[in-house]
Amino acid sequence: MIKFSLATAACVLVLAGPAAAQDPSPQGPSAQAPAAPVKAPPPDPNPGDLTFTGNVDVLGKTPYIFRGIVQEAHPQLTLWPAGDIGIALYSGKQALKSASLNFGVWNSLQTGSSGLDGTSKKLHYEEDFYAALGLGFSKVAFTTTYTAYTSPNGGFGTVHEIAFKGAVTSKVAPYVVVAQELGAIGADGGTRKGTYVELGIGPSWPVAGKATIAIPVKLGLSGHNYYELNGVDNKFGFLDVGALVTVPLTAIPAGYGAWNFHVGADAFTFGDTTKAFNGGKKSKGVFLFGLGVAY
């Protein structure tokens, strides 16, 4: 994080999960041939109520951007290791279909000007801890997340935040996030606690067999005092249009979890406050790739 800004979005637990399982509807056997024996699906390696997801993402010389704020003026190699443990609390057929609790950690290890090449000479720029309660209904889901954004190398002070997300289960997958800063330190370095609002969609399609491509679009706004600049609360923070291709690694036995390789790119357009924070740049691009696993 730059001296007056926050760091990453940990609420995004795993940047890219495994591709959605396909559910084809095969035709029945013909009358001229006997039915082929049904092959039993592989056993679930983790049949309990606990689920682990993790990933490691790699950025080259493209910047780490948190909610439109560039975190490193001169990026080199950046690694994003993350892990999440999910606990299934409830599953039913009433109005409430499911309830879950997640705990996780997200890290940013940077060799550029915010890490090894910076004044601290330390790699570990950011470590975020979060806890989330998710409630699923027939067509919508609600998640409440508490996050503590910390910087082991002293790049910024700890930021505390509670966020509320509502998402609609559909092909376009629209959602809204409202996040409230709780402590004295905020993302923009302003003197007042800020409220962040994000509107987004995340449509995805199968491509080339089992791979998927997603086109996430995010609009970051200041609900109240989030993008402050010279005493002015500028409402528009950023627009992010991305593309993410996820390929399942089927060569890895199912007993070791569901693994995937993913590659993505994002194009950011900045508002007045984020443009000023980002050295007067109107836009920037980000490229990354990585591995993910669910078990």
3-state SS, residue 129: strand
Instruction: Tell whether the model's pLDDT for residue 22 goes beyond 60.
Output: no
Confidence band of 213 (pLDDT split at 50, 70, 90): very high
Task: Report the mean per-residue pLDDT for the chain.
Answer: 86
Among 290, 256, 295, 284, which residue's Cα sits nearest to residue 72? 284
Report the chain's terminal Cα–Cα distance, integer Å: 32
Which sign does the torsion angle of CA 24, 27, 33, 38 carry?
A: positive
Handedness of CA 22, 92, 50, 17 (dihedral sign): positive
* Side chain identity, residue 201: I
**CA 15, CA 267: separation in Å to the nearest integer?**
16
Beta strands in 182-282 (DSSP E): 195-201, 204-207, 211-214, 217-224, 228-229, 232-233, 236-248, 258-270
Q: Which of 1-15, 74-88, 211-225 has the lowest mean pLDDT?
A: 1-15
270 three-state secondary structure: strand
pLDDT for residue 44: 54
* pLDDT value at residue 180: 97
Say which range, 32-36, 41-45, 144-148, 182-186, has the weakest mean pLDDT: 32-36
Q: Read off the pLDDT of residues 251-289 as tens digits, 9 standing for 90 and up.
A: 999 999 999 999 999 999 999 999 999 999 999 999 999
Residues 73-83: what's their mean pLDDT? 97
Read off φ and ψ for residue 12, nearest 5 degrees. -80, 100
What does the pLDDT read at residue 152?
98
DSSP assignment of 145-191 equals: EEEEEE-TTSSS--EEEEEEEEEE-SSS--EEEEEEE-SS--TT--S
In the chain, where does DSSP find H-type helix? 272-277
Q: What's the CA gap between 126 and 142, in Å, rounded?
A: 27
Q: What pLDDT sits at residue 46?
A: 58
Residue with tokens 């700890």: 158
> What percent of the chain is modeled with pLDDT above 70?
84
For the record, the structure tokens of 117 come out as 């090449």
Q: What domains appear along the chain, each with residue ranges and CATH number?
A: 50-294 (2.40.160.40)
Distance of CA 206 to the CA centre of its chain: 20
- pLDDT tens by residue, 36-61: 444 444 555 555 689 999 999 999 99
Tell me the C-alpha distance between 248 and 260, whole Å. 4
Interval 97-133: pLDDT, tens: 999 999 999 999 999 999 999 999 999 999 999 999 9
SS3 label, residue 265: strand
Q: How far apart are CA 84 and CA 80, in angstroms?
A: 13
Who's near 248: CB < 8 A, 6+ residues apart? 18, 19, 210, 211, 258, 259, 260
Is the pLDDT reported for residue 145 higher than 60? yes
Is 221 a residue whose pLDDT tops 70? yes
- State how far the Cα of 71 lies from the Cα of 212, in Å rounded to an integer: 29
What is the structure's pLDDT at 189?
A: 77
User: Phi, psi at residue 60, to the nearest 5°?
Assistant: -85, -125
